[in-house]
Structure 1
Amino acid sequence: MPTIAKNNDVITVIIIFAVEAERQQELIDTIIEFLETTVKHQSGFVSSSIHKSIDGVRVMNYAQWKTLEDYQAFINNSEVQAKAAKLSQFQIHESHIYEVVVSKPDDATLNIAKGGLIHLAEFRVKPENQMRLVELEKEYVGVSLQNPGLLSANFHRSLDGVHNVNYGQWRSLADFEELLKDPKYKPLSEYWQGLAENKFHLYEVVYTQPTD
């Protein structure tokens, strides 16, 4: 199964689609078909994990490639991209290439498994503020880990300097909702103020390649 690589032995590509709720499953099926027939056979492909947002309006592909050159060869291959024609009818909300910069706790199991509950916090940031945000993420991750339902927090920074994401793995929805309600977690809603715009969605992992 896919593993989040905090030692950065891969590059991470996160593609988030915006979709009408009634077409969410259609988009998921289209991505999986492309992965099964084409993507998984490409040189340098490591893994892909498809997530559906609980509210029905997002689909996320968390993909890993051996090198940046491998990924660029894939997206620049016109024959391969022609096979993705059906995906062009869906809107890409965000697409960036990332490296993992913080992964806590140190002993966390970082496997991505079907059925997992994921909180993806997206931070839109100016390049000059990106590393300051990373430092604050390192500082405040201990607050979030006081909630025993948070299995791991994995901060990523985009290589283009304009986006950070936190891929948080949770035990249950109730544990996450406690984070929103308990006053002791209030600093988590403030540390990025003045540095970034923030929004989040909750996702369920619905497919992995390699399979579990």
Structure 2
Amino acid sequence: MINKQLNVIVRFELKEEELETLVSQIRDFFEKEVSRFPGFISAKIHQNQERTVLINYATWDSSESFQKFVMELASVSPIAKKIQAFNPKQDMVFEILL
């Protein structure tokens, strides 16, 4: 079986004053921990104009790498626990076809 890249899209619904704190925590998490994890490719953060919705878009080399990340890092990281306090919704996980 060929591993296909995976995009993970996580959505946060926020109060405007929460945005900067969350962005800082996500950047910290990706720079200090996620970027070093095997299989991670890239990440982007998007916000709406009202600053009440933040979308975190991450690309992984495979579903297996992402699942390993969830079990070994995301479930134990103190930074990830702070991010979880913002009640993220993992809207979608997609394999990249093109």
Measured in 1, the distance between the counterparts of 2:75 and 2:20 equals 21
- The alignment of Structure 1 onto Structure 2 pairs a total of residues equal to 94
* Bigger helix fraction: 2
Pairing 1:1-212 to 2, within 5 Å after superposition: 9-77=4-72, 79-83=73-77, 84-100=80-96
User: Could you tell me how far 1:66 is from its partner in structure 2?
Assistant: 0.4
Distance 1:17 1:38, change over 3 A: same
Task: Give structure 2 stretches of 5+ with no counterpart.
Answer: none
User: Could you tell me how far 1:14 is from its partner in structure 2?
Assistant: 0.6
User: Could you tell me how far 1:80 is from its partner in structure 2?
Assistant: 4.4
Work out which of the two has the higher radius of gyration on C-alpha atoms and give 1 or 2: 1
Task: Give structure 1 stretches of 5+ with no counterpart.
Answer: 1-7, 104-212
TM-score scaled by length of structure 2: 0.84
CA-based RMSD: 1.9
**Contact 1:44 1:65 (8 Å CA) reproduced:** yes
Measured in 2, the distance between the counterparts of 1:94 and 1:9 equals 19
User: Could you tell me how far 1:81 is from its partner in structure 2?
Assistant: 2.8
Distance 1:31 1:97, change over 3 A: same
**Contact 1:19 1:91 (8 Å CA) reproduced:** no
Runs of 4+ in 1 over 3 A off after TM superposition: none
TM-score scaled by length of structure 1: 0.41
Larger RCO (CA under 8 A, 6+ residues apart):
2
Instruction: Write the deviation string for residues 171-205 of structure 1: whole angstroms up to 9, x where unpaired.
Output: xxxxxxxxxxxxxxxxxxxxxxxxxxxxxxxxxxx
